[in-house]
Structure 1
Amino acid sequence: METPPPGMFKVNVDGATSGDGNPSSIRVIIRDNRGETITALCMSLNGEYPSLETEVIALEKGFILAKQMELQQIMLETNALTVVQSLLAGDKGGDLGHLLQGISDTLNSFSSWQIKHLKRDCNRVAHELAQLAKCTGIKQVWKGVSPPTVQHLIQLEKA
């Protein structure tokens, strides 16, 4: 895992959609430059959404959680390449244009931000938490501790 520079926090997000009518779910984990978990969230959404929309919602929840934690410098990471490209290009059209506009506006309220695409296998912690929320339908927030179900993955990333 690439750690952010001191003072910056890494916000990994992921969404999961089943395609079988069950609700979509999202996951967020925020870590500091030592790889320590600051906070994490997994939650089931109120319905089944297309995968791209689910990823945008996960991204939005990620920076909202960073704002709630009063973080000013963030590095967002997602495996949703289309979302990353759209935000970096300033694309506000299409079905998700209004959501992308809102994300862009809010990101500009941080003193510093970056967004980066990760391959799914590099975003395993986020992916596993999204799967947990999808399977259990729970909403849970952890502050200052790693979610127990992914502690082994977090330790592997630190090694």
Structure 2
Amino acid sequence: MAWSSSEAQRYKINYDTTTFVEDNTAGLGIVIRNSEGHALVSLTQQIPLPATVIETEALAAWRAMELALELSLEDIVLKGDNESLFKALKNRGRSLAQHGHLINDILFLSSFFTTFSVSWVRRQCNKLAHSLARKAKVLPVMTVWMGDIPPDLVSVFQADLSSLP
């Protein structure tokens, strides 16, 4: 089938985090793939360590949404491995939890997409995003790879591709 501009492209956005307690920082990792599984963009970013794990995960999800908007994507699936965050986003209700403002911000950003959904994934299906988050330890400045991933993570990317449904 030939490419058609009338067909919407669905982008899958995996995000994950890791903490570097000794440095009082956390790492965010994001990879955006097209519907064939190819990497459109990947990102690693170091941030000050939030108070809780769910806040760290919510900040990664928020950054992933912001990146998708910067790229003018319209149809996205946001995928993470934190079940509590997944449930909060799936519920789409206003949250009064300590991290509720982040949930509310993510849901507000979702209104800018034509289609938005969330998906919970197992940790083993989120290895590339997690590896990108760990990379923030050695790359303290936000780093973005357009149309690519870091060369040292190619084997992780290939393993992730083989685990895609």
After TM superposition, the score normalised by the length of structure 1 is 0.90
Name the structure 2 match of 1:18.
20
Coordinate RMSD, CA, aligned:
1.6
The counterpart of 2:11, out of the listed 9, 12, 27, is 9
- Check whether the contact 1:37–1:144 (CA below 8 A) recurs between aligned residues: yes
Map residues 95-134 of structure 1 onto 2, 5 A cutoff: 95-134=98-137
Distance 2:124 2:158 in 1: 15
Q: Tell whether 2:42 aligns with 1:31.
A: no
Partner-residue secondary structure (3-state), 1:17: strand
- Per-residue CA distance 1:52-91 (angstroms, 9 max, x = gap): 1110000001011111111000011001111110111124
TM-aligned CA deviation for residue 21 of structure 1: 4.3
Map residues 24-63 of structure 1 onto 2, 5 A cutoff: 24-45=26-47, 47-49=48-50, 50-63=52-65
Distance 1:115 1:75 in 2: 5
- Check whether the contact 2:40–2:147 (CA below 8 A) recurs between aligned residues: yes
Structure number with bigger Rg? 2
Distance 1:18 1:147 in 2: 21
Distance 1:94 1:139 in 2: 28
Q: Tell whether 2:133 aligns with 1:145.
A: no
Distance 1:61 1:149 in 2: 23
Structure 1 stretches (4+) deviating beyond 2 angstroms?
18-22, 134-138, 156-159
After TM superposition, the score normalised by the length of structure 2 is 0.87
The counterpart of 1:155, out of the listed 144, 158, 163, is 158
In structure 2, runs of 5+ residues without a counterpart are 1-6
Distance 1:18 1:40 in 2: 20
Name the structure 1 match of 2:69.
67
Distance 2:135 2:148 in 1: 17
